Structure 1
Amino acid sequence: MKKKMSGELMLMLTALIFGVSFVAQRAGMAHVGPFTFNGIRSLIGTVVLIPVMVLMDRQKKADVPAEVTDAKASKKNLLVGGLWCGLVVFISSSLQQAGMIYTTAGKAGFITALYIVIVPILGLFLKKKVRPILWVSVLLATAGLYLLSVKEGFSIGWGDFLILLSAVGLSVHIILIDHFSPKTDPVKLTSLQFLVSGVISLPFMFTFETVSWAGIMDSKIPILYAGVLSCGVAYTLQTIAQKRTEPTVTSLILSMESVIALIAGILILGESISVRETMGSIILFSGILLAQLPGDLKFLEARIPGTLGYNKKRQEESQFIEVNYVKISE
């Protein structure tokens, strides 16, 4: 019981860090471009995860599933998975970061959380079964998104549209992680994807943006928050917590990041939200919660840029923890 409670507290802290990271991302855009922000924060996240990898390597062999014991196959899956996941993280995080220029942290948090609904839908193309109730979630999410983002004339704001595309990218990332995580070391996979994302960001950063040391220093707090706390601390907390909590509880607690993003945007950045947007947020969040009810756990348990997925099939055998962290957030 104590372990369960401590795990839930860790997840709450994780959701808090992820939620506030939307504020950090928006604040950071005041002095640097999206490629600069993501490139630096991804590389920082890679460095922060190095001690985590060292600690995880010291764990007993019994905590690792049989597939990972094949060193050659594990290394191949690590490289292939790291490259693909890193590429998708780069694309989705760049879209999200660019979208933060034109929308609020609160709206970005809610729209990003749509990945919980999008992932099972994408799963249809992989011949995954979808419960009928999920379509109710889709209707609620669509209605909520309409009230939250669509303006008069049925046009969606540019920033909200970029964030929505980012949520689709995050969903693809979750599916990739669902495929590669059980076949290699999850911590190394996460670290490698951050490294790949950071390296890919560099040429775009120097080509399309004006990079200055002064601008980076002016944004150092948001960048360090996103790199150290969001990529490093939150990731580690979630890794530990998911060993102590059930997948459904995990996904429900982590979904609170969207609410936290809204509150943090109002309190820290002074953002405002209209009655229409409030209703849209409530309806959208209801759809998100409905989608997380037991039944679609294989895809609902995983989380973006930046998240972990819990492999329920191996829970009793190995307590293996799948990784899916980017937010990009995320």
Structure 2
Amino acid sequence: MRPRLKDVAEHAGVSIKTVSNVVNGYPHVSPDTRTRVEAAIAELRYQPNLSARNLRSGRSGVIALAVPDLSIPYFSELATKVIEVADLRGWTVLIDQTQGERRKEQLVMSGIRAQLIDGMLFSPLALTPEDLRARTDQTPMVLLGERIGGGTLDHIAVDNVAAAHLATTHLVALGRRRIAAIGAQRAARAVTAEQRLRGFRRALSDAGLSEHAVADVSDYHRADGAEAMARLLDGDPPDAVFCFNDTLALGALRTLLSHGLRVPRDVALIGFDDIEDGRFSTPTLTTIAPDKAHIAETAVSLLATRLSAAGAEPPQDLCAPHRLIVRESTATGA
């Protein structure tokens, strides 16, 4: 028999009203209680009666997630986390890919599919704070990423300066002194690259080192990392490289191995994002891991608050945690 709201309440040891509050995204539920209820929902495979609930609420039960590029694993993995978290609330997620193009991002900002969705999670690249202030669409929206935030909308992002500083400090602690970076970009929209470059340079300055080299890239794919690493090897080769994402690092790794260099003995290598591919490369990839589950859970929770009666408080500007994961590409003694 299909589990009912009452079954979830009994399984979690809470009232039916509390389960209803969690299912409907109301914010005034303690984190511990919400976790117990969401675990009970998952264990019992409870599915809310969406058609009845949506008729009562006047909502579609659908939200959208707009990201620049799903071929970059970070965004596809984040999208998977968002879908998992949204499913616990009985929400369906529509995915939009903008390619970071201003025209497409403006369509998102202007309320594309507004008649179909209740709210939007949006990771823009080309828009500006002025674009946000000029927005007239009233669809609830939460911003992801570093490009714009701290204004009129809820926003969650990683502290890229601190994270890049941590990555570079790790290379310094290994005794490496010719430390290079791959991932700088000249485009005005390249806020992530600018922040990671700032953290890289700050860590070198703190260690009393000068930067060995910085390789620009046009994009953040494997081919860009491979080509940038080849340029670095044309001159005085580095003994360590910080790549601004893991796909750049995987491309750089291929170039290093094809040149007969050993990783990490000859060149230590670190990436950023903790994508699945880096856990299975040879050698496995040391990386900075943003907490993608935390980002997804927080973003969906912020959106739920905006959709509830309690959504009138000022926008929140939040920082997601990150950590260093040391693997074979920087392991000592390898």
Give the TM-score normalised by the residue count of structure 1. 0.26
More helix by share: 1
More strand by share: 2
Instruction: Kindly indicate whether structure 1 or structure 2 has the higher relative contact order, using CA contacts under 8 Å at least 6 residues apart.
Output: 1
Larger Rg, first or second structure (1 or 2)? 2
Give the TM-score normalised by the residue count of structure 2. 0.26
